[in-house]
Structure 1
Amino acid sequence: MRVTQSMLAANSLRHLSQSYSNMGKYQDQLATGKKINRPSDDPVVAIKGMYYRTNLTEVEQYKRNLSEAYQWMENSEAGIEHATQVIQRVRELLIQGQNGTNSPEDLKSIAVEIGQLKEDLANVANTQVAGRYIFNGTKTDSAPVTIDNGTITVDMNTEAFNVEVSSGVNLKVNINPSNIFGEDLFITLQSIEDALNSGNMETGDELLEHLDNHFDVMSAERSEIGARYNRLEMIDARIQDQEIIANRILSENEDADIEKVITDLTIQESIHRASLAVSSKIIQPTLIDFLR
């Protein structure tokens, strides 16, 4: 086979072009820190990267859901804590009103404070988080309790408000509001207020028993949400582990080994300089070179 000068020149230029391409690839890896910059560089790495990024995006969304769940549970527990404090204060006032040494004016003064506590409890029942009522089940756009000239009306939704905190795991983040701010509680408080205003405390022991029953129900509800909060913390810990693993796998799949890239780039530059030197000897001088 006859080897012509044009064949030598074409092969030299082709190899030089490939050398430039290799140097460009290593320079891109060094600049971006990634093994590939387009799917055609390595389709397998690109496909795996899409899958790993999807997993990481899901984990990040679950973290945002967890944040919302924490917000609901912590505010719900704070509401229960406030309600129990109100009940304890009402109990103290009721016992004070039963001691038989109070004048009618004293009883009315106690009734005024209980009325204020009743309205305060109604305001807590209408607690909003990010513009949503957390004590009205799934009807988060409407208030569960209305106050009209001292008259309290309760219209509560008790359905569970669930948040997806992990793949296929929906956790109830609200409480049963009727156990904390139910209509029976406000009826009991109104009965205590009416008894004090009338000065007739014959039903005081019965009302005290009703208060204690409400307190027990509140304590049970608080224990229940505490158990769910503990589960939420365990799910949170697992999600954090999943995020670390997902980031590590994604890094292993896409991130370039910088030390290796620098070494390969240095070697390729040496090869390229050698190729240029050889090509300059292979390509024949032109007529212009002889005229210099």
Structure 2
Amino acid sequence: MRISQSMLSNNMLRNVSNSYGNLNKYMNQLSTGKKITRPSEDPVVAMKGMSYRSQVSNVEQYRRNIGEVHNWLDNSDDALHETTQVLHRLNELAVQASNGTYENTERESIAKEVDQLIENLAEVGNTKVNNKFIFNGTNTNGTLDPEGNPMYPITKNDDGTYTVSDNENDVFVEVSAGTRLKVNTNPTAVFSQDLFDDLQAFAAALRDEDIPDAELSQHIEVIQGHTNQVVNERADIGARMNRIELIENRLASQEVTAKDMMSNNEDAELEEIIINLTTQEAIHRASLSAGARILQPTLLDFLR
């Protein structure tokens, strides 16, 4: 096979071009810190990278969802804590009023305090977090009356009575793959219609002079029953808080693992890149020097 000058020149140009390509690849790896900058460079790395990135993205979204769960549970627990304190005060008033030593004016004073405590319970039941009712089931934005005005979960009527919404649908938030956690508290188990009816009946009994003090003691058991319901709901919230902490710890471990796998798949070893780049630079200089010697001398070289 005859080797011509043009063949030598073309081969040298092709090799120099390939050398420039390798230099460009190593320079990109060094500047980006990644093994590849285009999927075509290594489709396997690119496909695995997409999978790992999706996994990391999902874990991060679940952790944001857990933040929303904490918001619901913490505010619900605070509201029920206040509700428990109010019911304890109502129980104290019922005990005081039933001991047979209070006059009608004193009973009226107790009744006025009971009225204020009932209004406070209604305000707690209408608690909003991020402009959402947390004790109204899935109807977190509230409903509208026939005139188009927004209605609260607990509404005080013109006659002084209270009307409680009956939305019992639970609100769920996905906290991990296939796991949806209930974040709200059943409103009818805490702020039920019976609660307000019973408390207003207690206030009315205090104002009724025909009812002896001894008969007021029957309201003590009723109030204690509502208190036990609130305590049970707080215990349920506590159990869910403990569970969400376990899920949060598991997600933190999954996030670390996923990011480590993604780093191993995509990130380049800087020490290796620097060595490869230095080696390629030496090869490139050698190829340019050899090419200059292989090319045939021109007429200008003889005129020197």
Distance 2:274 2:52 in 1: 27
Look up the match of 2:154. Answer: 145
Look up the match of 1:98. Answer: 98
Q: Could you tell me the TM-score, scaled by structure 2's length?
A: 0.92
Distance 2:274 2:255 in 1: 30
Distance 1:290 1:198 in 2: 130
Distance 1:187 1:265 in 2: 82
Distance 1:137 1:258 in 2: 55
Residue pairs, 1:8-23, within 5 angstroms: 8-23=8-23
Look up the match of 1:231. Answer: 243
> Which one is further off, 4-13 or 219-228?
219-228
Distance 2:273 2:124 in 1: 62
Residue pairs, 1:108-119, within 5 angstroms: 108-119=108-119
User: Equivalent of 1:183, from 193, 212, 218?
Assistant: 193
User: Are residue 194 (structure 1) and residue 204 (structure 2) matched?
Assistant: yes
Contact 1:145 1:156 in 2 (8 A): no
Distance 2:250 2:25 in 1: 39
Q: Indicate the SS of the match to 2:162.
A: strand
Q: Indicate the SS of the match to 2:268.
A: coil
Distance 2:157 2:214 in 1: 29
Deviation of 1:61 (Å): 1.1
Distance 1:113 1:285 in 2: 112
Change (3 A) 1:24 1:105: same
CA distances 1:211-262 after superposition (whole Å, capped 9, x unpaired): 1111111111111221121111111111111111110000000000011111
Distance 2:284 2:2 in 1: 27
Distance 1:186 1:179 in 2: 12
Deviation of 1:106 (Å): 1.8
Look up the match of 1:213. Answer: 225
Aligned sequence identity (%):
49
Residue pairs, 1:269-284, within 5 angstroms: 269-284=281-296
Q: Indicate the SS of the match to 1:203.
A: helix
Question: Which runs of no fewer than 5 residues in structure 1 stay unpaired?
Answer: none
> Which one is further off, 185-194 or 278-287?
278-287
User: Equivalent of 1:259, from 256, 259, 271?
Assistant: 271
User: Are residue 68 (structure 1) and residue 80 (structure 2) matched?
Assistant: no
Deviation of 1:206 (Å): 1.1
Q: Indicate the SS of the match to 2:202.
A: helix
CA distances 1:33-88 after superposition (whole Å, capped 9, x unpaired): 00000001100000111111111111111111111111111111111111110000
> Which one is further off, 128-137 or 190-199?
190-199
Residue 223 of structure 1 aligns with an amino acid whose one-letter code is A
Deviation of 1:183 (Å): 0.9
Q: Indicate the SS of the match to 1:160.
A: coil
Distance 2:155 2:97 in 1: 28
Look up the match of 2:176. Answer: 166
Distance 1:121 1:283 in 2: 96
> Which one is further off, 3-12 or 30-39?
3-12
Question: Which runs of no fewer than 5 residues in structure 2 stay unpaired?
Answer: 143-151
Change (3 A) 1:7 1:190: same
Distance 1:39 1:291 in 2: 53
Distance 2:231 2:131 in 1: 27
User: Equivalent of 1:154, from 164, 169, 173?
Assistant: 164
Look up the match of 2:149. Answer: none
Contact 2:99 2:214 in 1 (8 A): no
Q: Could you tell me the TM-score, scaled by structure 1's length?
A: 0.96
Contact 2:164 2:192 in 1 (8 A): yes
Q: CA-atom RMSD, angstroms?
A: 1.4
